[in-house]
Amino acid sequence: MQKANTGEAPVPRKERAAMQKPITTRRVFLQKGLTLLAVTPTIPAFLDQTVMAIAQPNDVKRTQQPSGKDGKILVVVQMSGGNDGINTVVPWADPAYHRARPSLGHNDKEVLKLDSYVGLHPSLGPLKNLYEDGRAAVIQGVGYPNPNRSHFRSMDIWHSAQPEKELTTNGWLGRYFDNQCAGCDPHVGVSIGDQLPLAMRGDRITPLSFERPETYRYNGRDKDDYMKLNKIDESKAPAAPSTQPAPAIAKPMAKNKQIEITPANQLDFLHRTAMDAQVSSDDILRMVRGHDANGYPNGEFGSGLRTVAAMIGGGLPTRVYYVSLGGFDTHANEKGRHDQLMQQFGQGVAAFMSDLKNQGNDERVLVMTFSEFGRRVEQNASGGTDHGTAAPMFVFGKALKHGLLGKYPSLTDLDHGDLKYTVDFRSVYATVLQDWLNAPSKPILGDQFRTLDMVKV
């Protein structure tokens, strides 16, 4: 597909006539958009991907860029605050576990055993079922060298995947977008939350982010007139870069510049973005409203996963979705709080997986969880745990090879009271990038990390 701003392709008369009419509704837009895309510079930039995918779901070749109806999808679940990995994937058979956590440790009988050494938190029953079904895997002991115990810094490290860099401007998924989807529309990534996580931030591509689909729309009272004021008026001559009056005195620097910034160009850019936003907002709201699924837990996490499932079901051409579950910073009275979080987590993921199965999309989706760090082996005096290091990650999906990966870190051979990691988190990222998203991981992670034998090819 030609990029819009060349604008010089000859336009057949019939289509030129079509262009004269303002495009006022999404429906008209979808009907006309396809024929107009190649020829007019004022068409919303992203539609060459998205509208194609939505309007022509059977056009496989087209829709696979970047994801579309058949592409693989990654869903990242962030557990914010530092999830207690030791009480999530419990080394129940280790006496050191019970010694370190006299009141916080789970009773052997309650633990949902995965093998003769580890088992799941008692509230993770729904995930135990997925595990037995071959749709859940646990990667044990994930961390990185010289672990940082600050929430902010460690979260930055997991997001950027650049532990050695002090100040990071982009994230590992953002770099994946930058590398793989040059010219992609912002729908390649969708994050549910109040701001775009660093992990998703690219230098060239800014994925979508919103708290709820209802916040991703125009909320003024007069929506019809709003549309009229923001529509693209095709009857006006398109503001091609070279036609704008420039000061006669000097030529603008042409090098490295794609477009000259003029008031008319800026307005045109805003109109196009407004049109993009409207089409995208309508689609997403329609998908979410029309989505019939139950079993999700109450709260932001459950509704976030439900929204993601609706967008996957609706055929949004998204490669990576991002949702968060917060509240894991359990320094005091961990027991009740962590039980609740585990229940919310297990129920949410299970509902999501069965939703996808009902849609027939379960083979396309891989879910990966992480937290910025695990917690100290020994419980503290307040019935909680302090910031620690390595922790397990979960992976969910149909294409998994094994249930348990990596090695559970020793509970006695510790580093300042904390676990020594056995798997570098960048190995997990590399595996997901290479074996799931089919992207070379080295340009994204800066180094070639050993991949895990995790995904069925």
Partner 1 sequence: MTRTHPLLQPYKPSSDDPFDAIKAAHLLNRAGFGGRPDEVAKVVEMGPERAVDWLLDFPDAPAEEQTQSDVPDLSSIDGYPKNFREIKTLYVNKTQEERKAIQQQLQQANREAIGETVTWWMNRMANGPHPLQEKLTLFWHGHFCTSAKDERSAWLMWQQNETLRQRCAGNFHQFVRAISRDPAMLDYLNNTQNHKQHPNENYARELMELFTLGIGNYTEDDIKNSARSFTGWSHDGDDFVFRKFDHDEGIKTFMGHSGNFDGDDIVEIIMHHPACAPYIASKLFKFFVYEDLEDGLAEALGSELRENNYELRPLLQTMLTSKAFYSPRAIGSQIKSPIQLVVGTSRLMDMKVPSVRIMQGALSQMGQVPFGPPNVKGWAGGRMWINTSTLFVRYNTATAMVGGGALAPLTGRKPARARGLKDPKINVDDNGSPEAIVEDWINRLIQRPVEDDKKKVLVEALGENPREDSVKKMIQLIVSMPEYQLC
Q: Give the nearest distance from C-beta 236 to partner 1 in angstroms.
A: 8
Do 431 and 452 contact (CB within 8 A), yes or no?
A: yes
The residue (of 84 and 283) whose beta carbon lies closer to partner 1 is: 283
What is the rounded distance in angstroms from the CA atom of residue 360 to the CA atom of residue 398?
Answer: 12
To which H or E segment does residue 284 belong?
A: helix 263-289
Residue 356 in contact with residue 386, Cβ under 8 Å?
Answer: no
Report the C-alpha gap between 268 and 262 in whole angstroms. 10
Q: Is residue 160 exposed (0-12), middle (13-18) or buried (19+ Cβ within 10 Å)? A: buried
Inter-helix orientation angle 300-313/263-289, to 10°: 100
Question: Can you list the alpha helix ranges (DSSP code H) found in 89-150?
Answer: 95-100, 125-132
By C-alpha distance, which of 176, 183, 188, 192 is closest to 68? 188
Q: Between 257 and 456, whose beta carbon lies closer to partner 1?
A: 257
Question: What phi and psi values does residue 144 have, to the nearest 5 degrees?
Answer: -155, 165
| Alpha-carbon dihedral 213, 215, 220, 222, rounded to 10 degrees | 0
Nearer to partner 1, 281 or 369 (CB): 281
Q: Which is nearer to partner 1, 228 or 402 (CB)?
A: 228
As a whole number of angstroms, the distance between CA 128 and CA 131 comes to 5
Closer residue to partner 1 in complex, CB, 257/442:
257
Nearer to partner 1, 10 or 145 (CB): 145
Of 154, 160, 12, whose CA–CA distance to 79 is shortest?
A: 154
Distance in Å, CB of 205 to partner 1, minimum: 9
Kindly report the number of other CB atoms within 10 A of residue 8's CB atom: 11
Least CB distance from residue 152 to partner 1, whole Å? 5
The single-letter DSSP state of residue 371 is E
Task: Kindly state the smallest distance separating residue 125's Cβ from partner 1, in Å.
Answer: 31
Nearer to partner 1, 80 or 206 (CB): 206
Interface positions with partner 1 (CB under 8 A): 150, 152-153, 166-169, 186, 194-196, 201, 206, 208-212, 214-222, 225-226, 228-230, 233, 245-247, 249-253, 257, 260-263, 266-267, 269-271, 273-274, 276-277, 280-281
Could you tell me how far CA 379 lies from the centroid of its own chain? 33
What is the spatial distance between Cα 206 and Cα 322, in angstroms, rounded to a whole number?
13
CB of 300 to partner 1, least distance (A): 9
- Nearer residue to partner 1 within complex by CB, 60 or 267: 267
CB of 181 to partner 1, least distance (A): 15
CB of 61 to partner 1, least distance (A): 26
Q: Which is nearer to partner 1, 252 or 417 (CB)?
A: 252
Smallest gap from residue 231 Cβ to partner 1 (A): 10
Find the shortest distance in angstroms from Cβ 167 to partner 1: 5
Q: Which residue has the tokens 């509208």?
A: 51
Residue pair 189/205 in contact (Cβ under 8 Å)? The answer is yes
